[in-house]
């Protein structure tokens, strides 16, 4: 466990404070918007280099839990990244998924859940054409990324409220 935390700290994914422990980094709106710009470009590039022999198994999104919605979305993104057979694209997409995961989790547990579910179903259906109908997959992907990006301000606000509520609870229990 310690080695994993040291590695995550070295990669800048968690914050390490001497004698205090490891902490997640706060979500910052401009950083997430930048992450979406990079993620969008990497996914678009990867999509344009995906071979026609890729097979993506679609799975219904109707019964997925909030966590499963987020993970299924990230799996679709990773499938596109891996389809390009470019390790650099895969790493960029993986980092994008990691950085935007809290946003996806917040969306899946909020009033955005139904819209996220519908958008993911559309993307998943389009992914069946991965490598053959690139324009169809790209359209569904861009629409899904637009949805997530529009939710950034709301999600950051909600996450901040939850953290403040947690701090109030912790301070009150002392």
- Asked if residue 22 is part of any domain, the answer here is no
**Number of neighbouring beta carbons within 10 Å of residue 154:** 15
Residue with tokens 């990244």: 81
Instruction: Establish if 2 belongs to a structural domain.
Output: no
In a domain, 112, yes or no: yes
Question: Cα separation of 84 and 73, whole Å?
Answer: 18
Torsion angles phi and psi, residue 33, rounded to 5? -65, -40
Query: What is the domain-level CATH number for residue 152?
Result: 1.20.120
pLDDT 10s per residue in the chain (174 long)? Answer: 878 878 877 877 677 778 778 766 666 788 888 999 999 999 998 888 877 666 666 666 777 888 898 999 999 999 888 877 777 888 899 999 998 998 899 999 889 999 999 999 999 989 888 878 889 999 999 999 999 999 998 888 887 777 666 644 444 444
Q: Which two tokens stand for residue 169?
A: 């609870």
State residue 24's pLDDT score: 66
Structural domains of the chain, count: 1
Spatial separation of the C-alpha atoms in residues 15 and 130, rounded to whole Å = 37
- Domain assignment present for residue 4? The answer is no
SS (H, E, C) 139-157: HHHHHHHHHHHHCHHHHHH
pLDDT at position 168 is 47
User: What integer pLDDT is reported at residue 174 of this predicted model?
Assistant: 44
Q: Kindly report the backbone phi and psi dihedral angles of residue 39, in degrees, each rounded to the nearest multiple of 5, phi listed first.
A: -60, -45
In a domain, 100, yes or no: yes
Angle at 130 between CA 33 and CA 61, to 5 degrees: 70
Which residues constitute the domain of residue 157?
Answer: 29-172
pTM: 0.76
Task: Please report the DSSP string for 106-172 in residue order.
Answer: HHHTSTTHHHHHHHHHHHHHHHTTTTT-HHHHHHHHHHHHHHHHHTHHHHHHHHHHHHHHHHHHHHH
Rounded to whole angstroms, the Cα distance separating 1 from 6 reads: 9
């Amino acid at each position: 466990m310690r080695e994993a935390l040291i590695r995550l700290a070295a990669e800048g994914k968690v914050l390490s404070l001497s004698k205090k422990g490891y902490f997640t980094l706060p979500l910052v709106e401009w950083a997430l918007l930048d992450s979406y710009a990079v993620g969008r470009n990497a996914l678009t590039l990867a999509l344009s280099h995906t071979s026609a022999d890729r097979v993506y198994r679609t799975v219904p999104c109707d019964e997925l839990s909030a966590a499963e919605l987020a993970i299924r979305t990230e799996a679709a993104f990773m499938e596109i990244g891996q389809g390009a057979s470019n390790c650099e694209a895969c790493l960029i997409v993986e980092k994008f998924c990691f950085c935007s995961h809290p946003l996806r989790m917040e969306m899946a547990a909020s009033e955005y859940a139904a819209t996220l579910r519908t958008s993911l179903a559309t993307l998943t259906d389009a992914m069946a054409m991965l490598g053959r109908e690139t324009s169809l997959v790209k359209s569904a992907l861009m629409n899904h990324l637009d949805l997530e990006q529009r939710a950034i301000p709301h999600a950051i606000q909600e996450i901040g409220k939850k953290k403040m509520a947690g701090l109030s609870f912790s301070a009150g229990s002392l």
